[in-house]
A = this chain, B = another copy of it.
Amino acid sequence: MRKDKLLMTPGPTVIPPRVLEVMSRQIIHHRTAEFEAAFYEVEENLKYVFQTGNPVLILASSGTGAMEAAIANFFSPGDRVLVVSIGAFGDRFAEIAKAFSLNVEKLSFEWGQAADAERIKEVLDSDVKHEIKAVIITHNETSTGVTNDIEAVAKLTRDTDRLLIVDAVSSMGGLDLKTDLWGVDVVVTGSQKCLMAPPGLAFVSVSEKAWKAYENSTLPKFYWDLKKYKRGLLKELSENPPYTPAISLIMGQAEALRMIKEEGLEKVYERHKKLALATQAGVKALGLELFAREDVSSYIITAVKGPAGIDMGQLVKTMNIKYDIMITGGQKHLKGKIFRIGHCGYVDIFDVVKTFSALEKVLLELGYDMDLGVSVEAVQRSYFG
């Protein structure tokens, strides 16, 4: 007997059965009252999760598509932007900006560290001609398991004419992100992480300040033209959304957002935090070290330094093939050096217990010296104690 894979990964994450059930129903047409009701419900609940009164635009694409939209809509070739990178996804945002001929100043921090707002301030202060039009930063860097302090960065941009663009693909709906209160202009995310739906939908919120920048943008756009989505939403166009939406995914996302609303955002954040702390406790009980600096270690995904002599590829593979639990290895130069346990979306404490129970067994099989049960006990004590 084998159970479904338990995805302790940073996306896709496990889809709640309620969501799967909705997606198993016969499709409805998108130009109907029934779909319209679901669409606007998703819109309202996205605003709740984004903590914004701004429209949240719904795209049929993966998160990277929404990152591209965040570039194509607010800039023109040659515009100078500051991209802050603490890992692979920060690097990707810089690559996208470069592909669109922006003049990219990149401020990189060592993988495993968070961005230092003081350093960002220095760069902005030294930009005396005020050429930098935006700061672009990742909220939660999945590749390193580190969360950036967006509130601190927002303080540097909110009362200026610079935009703050945040990649919240892996954090939205798991980590507190006060879009309006902090003054974040553009926030992008995807459906397949904390939002508990399958991949294929991306969401972008846009502030008034960003809409002003939109008016000056000359980069070519059609599918990503966010104003069309906004006008559709506001019923200023004959059709909303402007292009055929990913109907089944939107119906599934509607159900997943209902679940988030039922639990309540504060409790969702608290659950993610407690699961992360339990995971950290488990890691330590195994005698292993966090890859990230502990005070910035993510509540979405925990990156762990691989113990000496243990093959990370083998560890991840055995967890998957033998015990049907998916964790992930490192990306880029961290390949073979770390493993990562995701604990976001439809995850509870017993999923973490199960993961450590299997992890102990696999580590023992691979020759790591430890006592069976130590990490599971630590996980339980952290969460229930």
A: residues with CB less than 8 A from B are: 4-5, 7, 9, 11-12, 14-15, 20-21, 23-32, 60-65, 67-68, 72, 95-96, 99-101, 190, 192, 198-200, 219-223, 225, 243-249, 320, 326, 328
Contacts and interface: CB of A to CB of B under 8 A. Distances in A.
Contact of A245 (B9, B27, B62): B62
10 contacts: A12-B27, A20-B23, A20-B26, A23-B248, A60-B60, A61-B65, A62-B244, A99-B225, A200-B245, A219-B220
A192 B96 contact: no
Oligomeric state, in copies: 2
A12 B30 contact: yes
Contacts of A29: 5, 7, 9, 12, 326
Contact of A68 (B27, B60, B223): B223
Given A60-B199, A62-B223, 6 more contacts: A11-B244, A15-B27, A20-B25, A30-B199, A96-B223, A200-B247
B7 A246 contact: no
Contacts of A99: 220-222, 225
Given A65-B61, A246-B249, A21 B20 contact: no
A25 B96 CA distance: 34
A9 B221 CA distance: 29
A213 to B, nearest CB: 18
A221 B64 CA distance: 12
Contacts of A62: 60, 223, 243-246
A9 B32 CA distance: 12
Contact of A222 (B26, B64, B190): B64
A279 to B, nearest CB: 19
Contacts of A31: 328
Nearest to A16: B26
A199 B12 contact: no
B244 A190 contact: yes
A72 B68 CA distance: 13
A243 to B, nearest CB: 4
Which of A4, A60, A72 has the most chain B CB within a 10 Å cutoff?
Answer: A60
A246 B15 CA distance: 13
B198 A101 contact: no
A246 B4 CA distance: 19
B64 A61 contact: no
Nearest 10 Cβ contacts at the A-B interface: A200-B246, A24-B24, A4-B26, A198-B248, A64-B243, A99-B222, A100-B220, A68-B223, A62-B244, A65-B223
A200 B248 contact: yes
B12 A244 contact: yes
Nearest to A190: B244
Contacts of A328: 31
B20 A100 contact: no
Contacts of A32: 320, 326
Contact of A220 (B14, B27, B101, B246): B101
Contact of A63 (B21, B198, B244): B244
A27 B11 contact: no
A99 B217 CA distance: 13
